[in-house]
Every structure is written in structure tokens, then in C-alpha cells.
Amino acid sequence: MVGAHVLDRYSYFAAPDAERLHDLNAALRDERVDAIWCIRGGYGMMRILDAIDFDALRSRPRPVMGYSDVTALHAGVNRRAGTISYHSPVAREEITPFTRDSFTRAVIEDVDSCGVATDARVIRGGVAHGRLAGGNLSLLAALAGTPYMPELDGAILVLEDVNEALYRVDRMLTQLHLAGALRNVAGIAFGECTNCTADESPDDGREARTLDDVLREFADALHIPCITNIPLGHIDEHWTIPLGALATLDADALTLTVHPHGDR
């Protein structure tokens, strides 16, 4: 079943708010629909959060799947329905065997959908246990101060972004920190920051700052384990992460282990 307005275009939205909201609520209320899989991300999701029928999802939980700006919907699902949702590929993308395997394990089999992040880097060692939360950093920063900001106390925060300069990544993390959202985070697992421009070399000859430097400052200040470059984000091969499920981050071993959702 495809939403009635999925192919519409309206300015920088797929369709006017009312029409996109109609499609989403119709799917949430339809007994024949077993999952909601977003075609793509889009800023406009934030504009309809207040009118989404989260009660329908709470009364009949089903997978909600997607990533990037779909983070706003995941946040709403977490805060208003209290159910697990899936930071996953969107429905329009070509799915590689690696991505399909993680997606199947997360959504269908309810087993660990992550594991060893072979290309990851240790920012700060240690082990953390907690519920998975997060998604796109830009959307989390935009949700700060709203009723839809995910509860991050005791959480393993997973993050990704695209087309952001390093100073903006720094600024968004600082915003979350100043808002108190990071105060009790248990650990951070950062994915890809695709097409994120590096810092320009300072005129005084010092080395330019890197994303690792920025993450290390926050991880050290919060005294939490942190790794970066896990398979997550605007990339071809990425994990599906069940937001709201319990997990263990072992930064030294470069592993993120998702526990069965029955532990929720």
C-alpha cells in the first residue's frame, strides 16, 4: 500500500502538510498495515508532529522505519507512543546485502542487528549499557526544547549527519549539551558525517580540528565511551538500529550489541 500523495510535490515538501498527515495517519489507523516504511527523509515531518495519531500506534505497535529527517518521526514515536522504531534505510534506496542482513535481523528476527564496526575508531574507551536513542544530529538539535526531544538520560546516543561543516556539528552538539540533553548520556556511537567539510588549517601552523577532536572533547567532558565511523548514515551500507531497544556499546572492542526487544 502506497500513500496517496507519495509522488506529489509542493515547494520543498512532498505535499502540503494536511495531505502528508492524512497519508501517515491513514496508515497508522489501517488494520491492514503491518509497518510504516518512509520513502525518504524530509524536513516537513516536524511540521506535522503535533497532529500524528500516536495513540493508534500505541494501541497496535508496528515497525516505523527510515532515517535522516525521519528522526523527527522516530522521536515522536518514542515520546508519544513509547514503542521501538527503526533507524533504517528508506524504502526508495537500493539495499546492499550488508544492509539487508542488518535490516532483517532488526525488524523481522529481533536479534542483534549491529555487531563489530570494523571501520570504526575509538574516541574514548569504555563500556556503556542503555537504550538506543538518536538519529540525525541536525534534527535532534532542532527538537531540543520541544516535547518530542528524545529522553537521553542513560541512553546510548547514535548519531549521523550529511552536508554539515565541522563547526556546525560542534555547534549542534554544544546546543544539546547546553540544553542539558547530554548530561546523563551513557555513550556515543557516531556514524558517517557524509560530505561534512573539514576545518580549515589555522594561520598559525597548528593542525586543523577534526570530527574526532570534537567528539573527544564531548566524550571526555561527559566521561563516557565513544566511537565514530560506525556503519550508519547517508551511505550505501548501514545498520538498522532499533531506537528504544537495550544495547551495549564496547568502545574498545568497536562493538554495538543490540539486545532482544523483549528486554525493553
| Catalytic-role residue among 68, 85, 88, 102 | 68
Say if CB 114 and CB 102 are below 8 A apart. yes
The angle subtended at Cα 18 by Cα 12 and Cα 24, nearest 5°, is 95
- Amino acid letter, residue 95: I
Residue 68 a catalytic site member: yes
- Report whether 113 contacts 103 (CB < 8 A): yes
Concatenated DSSP letters of 15-29: S-HHHHHHHHHHHHH
Q: Which residues contact 220 (CB under 8 A, 6 or more apart)?
A: 124
**Cα 239 from Cα 225, distance rounded (Å):** 20
Q: From the candidates 5, 74, 234, 259, give the one annotated as an active-site residue.
A: 234
Active-site residue identified among 160, 192, 238, 259: 160
Residues catalogued as catalytic: 68, 160, 234
